Structure 1
Amino acid sequence: MTSISLTAAATGKADAVVVGVYATETAKGVKGVALAPGAEAVDAAYGGSLRKALDLLGAAGSEGELTKLPAQGDVKASLIIAVGLGKAPGKDGGVDLDALRKSAAVAARSLSGKAKAVFALPAADAEQAGAVAEGVLLGAYAYQGLKAPKKDAKGALAEAVLAAGPAAKQAAVKKAVERAGSVAGAVNLARDLINTPPSHLYPKTFADRVQTEVKDAALPALTVEVLDEKALAKGGYGGIMGIGQGSAKPPRLVRLAYRHPKAKQHLALVGKGITFDTGGISLKPSNAMDTMKSDMSGAAAVFAATLAVARQEVPVNVTAYMSLAENMPGGGAVKVSDVVTIYGGKTVEIMNTDAEGRVVMADALARASEDEPDVLLDVATLTGAQVLALDRLSAVMGNDDALRTRVVETAKAAGEEMWPMPLPEYLRETIDTPAADLSNMGSRMGGMLVAGLFLREFVGAGIPWAHLDIAGASYNEKGAYGDTPKGGTGAAVRTLVKLAEDMGAAK
């Protein structure tokens, strides 16, 4: 794991030093770059010709562009990396924090295998310093996997030093960097869980990991309860039991609770935790299973976010539920047309066993509603329809327009992309069935919205609720970009932490 520290000098000894550059264009249309704040000391040590050297190399300053050049003069690092930050802010505009965070991540990712790098990027205040630190820690992430160790294997950047000049308010900067470490650590924990092979991560081991993390955190305000298959059956959790009964590895429901003595609001979170999804009896095509180890991304997100909130001692109460099951087509698997009874008594006819996520989450939503939270959010890799509609953007639905808007705006502030979606009432009748209170399948058209309408049925009366479908955002099969790696992304963690912080700060 990459460590991060602060320095007042950007010219200390290191393997590399990172500076920022903005894209510029003269009145005659000549394009070039301008050095961003933070690069002054490096430029001076370079002999004052750093910008000229970058122009000669064709640097454009576009967001995330990397230009590498050997150090010279009094620069003690052996390598200088200039990372593009996009267009320079106008006279009245501030630094684009999202661009700063993502560009810092790109630079950190390029430093794989380096022992130490100094980041001389804009860090004039706590917000900028926090964005750089978060980007560095997100970009430096590398899943270690289960490979046999090799002597020449390249790991992530070992140490990042953030250059925050003497003009910066050091106490606030230090606090912002510490927060960035907590948040990025939570995102990277979720990424590790998502990337873990299903042979090693299944309901019991996921629950064990939660218990281990809580024990290691040693925070009295943080408690965990795990319901095994016997407790689930006795408690009436028919959704989780029904989906999990086709696997040799039985399901679990994990309840992680954080309580703060000064909390005035209570946030409840529910995460889908299908540790592997074959589709059950409604078997998926083989090529549709390639990424199904990531079907527990929602549970990973609510777990990691709650842990980060507890470690920062945010004055808000948080209760997170993780519905954990393997969806397998074993001899005991739930069948099409079977009816299961959800916690609280509602019955569901299973018309497609590959629409299992909403079924296991129904139990947790009903149980979470009993806690009477001020806000209830669920996070799930729920539908393929979401991916078709929004690609890598997450969708937000809910029973409260103000909350839906708040979640979308919070996501933007946290550096994530989410889009508001409706819950059209005319689609509700498509999940009616004569055999049970409702069916787990409805209209194929608007499938993402139908799934949201299904979940709404299990939210307690009067509780503001939002549903985050992160199917497209949770796992990146392509190349890394910005602050997003290949593989598990840790989607929604930053949004959940920011929302909890905002609730804790509310008067």
Structure 2
Amino acid sequence: MDFAIKSGSPDKYRGDCVVVGVFESGKLSEAARQLDDACKGYLGKVTGQGDMDGKANTTLLLHGVPNIASKRVLLVGMGKEKTYGEKAFLGAVRAGFKTLHQTGAKDAAIYLLDVPVRQRDFAWGVFQTVVLAEESIYRFDRLKSKPEKHLPSLAKVVIAVNDKSSQTAAEAALRQGVATAQGMKVTKDLGNLAPNICTPAYLAEQAKDLAKAFKLKLSVLEEKDMEKLGMGALLAVARGSRQPAKLIVLEYRGQLKMEKPIVLVGKGVTFDTGGISLKPAAEMDEMKYDMSGAASVLGTLTAVAEMQLPINVVGIIPATENMPGGNATKPGDVVTSLSGQTIEILNTDAEGRLILCDALTYAERYKPEAVIDIATLTGACVVALGHVVTGLMGNNEQLAQDLLQAGEQVSDRAWQLPLWEEYQDLLKSNFADMANIGGRWGGAITAACFLSRFTEKFQWVHLDIAGTAWKSGQDKGSTGRPVPLLTQFLVARAQQK
């Protein structure tokens, strides 16, 4: 889909459709009022007759509106004017694109940003419009024998600005939105793939393609390499699988080589049965999404490379399956991590932290400015926060606040949980330096406490995306989160430099 930023009166737009808003009271938005003046009260008559009541997420498509250059006018309900805010705006944009895709319109001008959204600037509206536009045309049907034939015809979206003074900020937001949407698509495609296709080796191949496309440096460590290094925790998870584990490292250099990089570490369990601690059968198919952290790293690097950000970023992906088998790790086994610390594995389904701890130790060699790990780590985080926000914990408050602010700025929010010393006692083991689980209570926190023992040499934040990486039920599929959060964080860091 192509995007453009333009100023101008909506009645002058010569295209297939112009989109404007209507509030529940029947009040027209400024752009809708301009149309109404041009067509001599035609829109007012439509709303006055009750054909469009302005309720949130409703739409009405009009053809042949007099004195209007566009072939169609789409009225979108914006809800109550007094409570109009972020949720209502996002709902209106989604509803608008859904209706547009049911028409033959090949282009559309969006005039929904003329109404201020509380606590949001114009650039935020542009960014969200681009991301939602791309989301509305996303399809994952490559594995179907008969893919969908009737694809949306909408190919160009014009986002209207109130005046030319807003154009520079709007165009910057558009570029970031396009790059972020592209990164989200990469993440979604990888997450939605069947686990017999998206294996550790497949992730390595995708990283290779990404490196080739954007001239990144790629290195892939095989199991024999990990054995030489002493990555006993990562390899313990891989033991039950016939698919060889990989440690994938991608380096994006947007600055001088001596500048310390931001390191992103993404959990890449391409399928998680739980191992010997086998999961229940119900919804186990969704464990193909247990590599969503890895997918988000590849997606974020795509967005960063698309924008050519002047920043250094390293992506580290420990990739493996977690399977039961004759050689699989057993509850009670003790392994030695790359850091030299020993771990008693009490539950083989707490495997994400095992592969991440070795990857975090490996990150030390890059002398990072900061390290962020992204993982579908705990069901406990879903219980605590649901599917709305990502869990966030770390050892550096400023880094945590920067990530929280980035998520807030692009509406891909996270929520900080405590990481206090008192929780560390739950990981005590009689037979090793630590256990890999801390009991039933505070599971998301104790998982982060485990990881914190491997992050003492750098600033670090952990993002638990177990509740936000994918949707279940009828809308089952990857969400592409937290690519917007991570991308905005890196944009802000690049701007600081």
**TM value normalised by structure 1:** 0.87
User: Aligned partners of 1:68 and 1:379: how far apart in 2?
Assistant: 42
The code of the aligned residue for 2:295 comes to A
Moved more, 380-389 or 117-126: 117-126
1:261 to 243, 255, 261: 255
CA contact (8 A) 2:244 2:320 kept: yes
Moved more, 431-440 or 128-137: 128-137
Cα deviation for residue 242 of structure 1 reads: 1.3
**Counterparts in 2 of 1:478 and 1:43: CA distance versus 1, 3 Å:** farther
1:365 to 354, 360, 364: 360
CA contact (8 A) 1:104 1:139 kept: no
Q: Secondary structure at the match of 2:366?
A: coil
User: Aligned partners of 1:319 and 1:412: how far apart in 2?
Assistant: 24
Other-structure match for 1:230: 224
Cα deviation for residue 436 of structure 1 reads: 1.6
**Counterparts in 2 of 1:163 and 1:427: CA distance versus 1, 3 Å:** closer
2:59 to 55, 61, 67: 67
Which whole-Å deviations, capped at 9, do the CAs of 1:261-305 have from their partners, x for residues lacking one? 258553111111111111111111100403111111111112211
Other-structure match for 1:103: 92
**Counterparts in 2 of 1:45 and 1:262: CA distance versus 1, 3 Å:** farther
Other-structure match for 1:142: 139
Q: Secondary structure at the match of 1:320?
A: strand
**Counterparts in 2 of 1:370 and 1:168: CA distance versus 1, 3 Å:** same
Other-structure match for 2:27: 34
Which whole-Å deviations, capped at 9, do the CAs of 1:188-241 have from their partners, x for residues lacking one? 211111111112111000110111122123x3xx22211122222222222221
Other-structure match for 2:329: 334
The code of the aligned residue for 2:427 comes to I
User: Aligned partners of 2:473 and 2:489: how far apart in 1?
Assistant: 29
The code of the aligned residue for 2:435 comes to S
Which whole-Å deviations, capped at 9, do the CAs of 1:348-406 have from their partners, x for residues lacking one? 11111111111111111111133221221111111011111111121111112332232
Which whole-Å deviations, capped at 9, do the CAs of 1:88-118 have from their partners, x for residues lacking one? 489xxxx956754553234224444655241
Other-structure match for 1:422: 418
User: Aligned partners of 2:416 and 2:376: how far apart in 1?
Assistant: 16
Other-structure match for 1:27: none
**Counterparts in 2 of 1:193 and 1:44: CA distance versus 1, 3 Å:** farther
1:286 aligns with 2:285: no
CA contact (8 A) 1:299 1:379 kept: yes
User: Aligned partners of 2:250 and 2:200: how far apart in 1?
Assistant: 15
The code of the aligned residue for 2:63 comes to A
1:243 to 233, 237, 256: 237
**Counterparts in 2 of 1:108 and 1:359: CA distance versus 1, 3 Å:** same
**Counterparts in 2 of 1:292 and 1:52: CA distance versus 1, 3 Å:** farther
Cα deviation for residue 444 of structure 1 reads: 0.9
**Counterparts in 2 of 1:99 and 1:416: CA distance versus 1, 3 Å:** farther
Q: Secondary structure at the match of 2:267?
A: strand
The code of the aligned residue for 2:411 comes to G
**Counterparts in 2 of 1:62 and 1:468: CA distance versus 1, 3 Å:** farther
Other-structure match for 1:4: 3
1:401 aligns with 2:397: yes
**Counterparts in 2 of 1:89 and 1:162: CA distance versus 1, 3 Å:** farther
The code of the aligned residue for 1:254 comes to I
Which whole-Å deviations, capped at 9, do the CAs of 1:472-502 have from their partners, x for residues lacking one? 111111466xxxxx41001111111111111
CA contact (8 A) 1:71 1:80 kept: yes
The code of the aligned residue for 2:181 comes to A
Other-structure match for 1:190: 187
RMSD: 2.6
Where in structure 2 are the equivalents of 1:408-447 lying within 5 Å? 408-447=404-443
User: Aligned partners of 2:87 and 2:253: how far apart in 1?
Assistant: 31
Q: Secondary structure at the match of 1:295?
A: helix
Q: Secondary structure at the match of 2:26?
A: strand
1:492 aligns with 2:479: no
Which whole-Å deviations, capped at 9, do the CAs of 1:19-71 have from their partners, x for residues lacking one? 23344xxxxxxxx23333444564456543324423544645455x1212332
Unaligned runs of 5+ in 2: 115-121
User: Aligned partners of 2:220 and 2:99: how far apart in 1?
Assistant: 41
**Counterparts in 2 of 1:494 and 1:265: CA distance versus 1, 3 Å:** farther
1:130 to 127, 134, 151: 127
The code of the aligned residue for 1:335 comes to K
Aligned residue pairs: how many? 483
Paired-residue identity, %: 33
**TM value normalised by structure 2:** 0.89
Cα deviation for residue 424 of structure 1 reads: 3.1
User: Aligned partners of 2:286 and 2:251: how far apart in 1?
Assistant: 30
Other-structure match for 1:176: 173
Where in structure 2 are the equivalents of 1:312-391 lying within 5 Å? 312-391=307-386
**Counterparts in 2 of 1:239 and 1:34: CA distance versus 1, 3 Å:** farther
CA contact (8 A) 1:281 1:333 kept: yes
CA contact (8 A) 2:7 2:164 kept: no
Other-structure match for 2:47: 54
**Counterparts in 2 of 1:321 and 1:329: CA distance versus 1, 3 Å:** same
Cα deviation for residue 176 of structure 1 reads: 2.6
User: Aligned partners of 1:193 and 1:51: how far apart in 2?
Assistant: 47
